[in-house]
Amino acid sequence: MRKTLPWIYLTLAVLGAVLPWQANLDFISESGQAFDLGRFIADASANAAARSLGADLLIGATAVSVWICVEGPRLKIRGWWIAIPLSFGIAFACGAPFFLFLRERHLQSEESEPTS
């Protein structure tokens, strides 16, 4: 399982980019114009269920983003910072698993290095 774990994370990162953006493109096509941020926010807070999901995502994404910014440099993971723009520019569902992919690959490479 440990060998396949990075690839599971990478698959989740790809799905985390594709699936939210499919929904975003549907939203854009429904509005008939460019991405309407005001309407998107209004729709995202239209009812209690949407507000719950929004708050859950905001708090979870903030906590994981702080962890990425601490864990990446602490472990000296190359490219750790890429997860932050992926999270905000593509989707958090892409950035977080991408960081986990980088982290797992880093940990596995450290474990396979001979110690002196």
Q: Is residue 72 part of a domain?
A: yes
pLDDT in tens, the chain (116 residues): 888 999 999 999 999 999 999 999 999 998 887 888 889 889 989 999 999 999 999 999 999 999 999 999 999 999 999 999 999 999 999 999 999 999 999 999 999 877 65
Q: Is residue 90 part of a domain?
A: yes
Span between the terminal Cα atoms of the chain, in Å: 28
Q: Is residue 114 part of a domain?
A: no
Domain count within the chain: 1
Q: Is residue 116 part of a domain?
A: no
Q: Is residue 66 part of a domain?
A: yes
Q: Is residue 115 part of a domain?
A: no
Which pTM was predicted? 0.89
Count of positions (residues) in the chain:
116
Phi, psi at 115, each rounded to 5°: -90, 145
* Domain membership of residue 86 as a residue range: 5-109
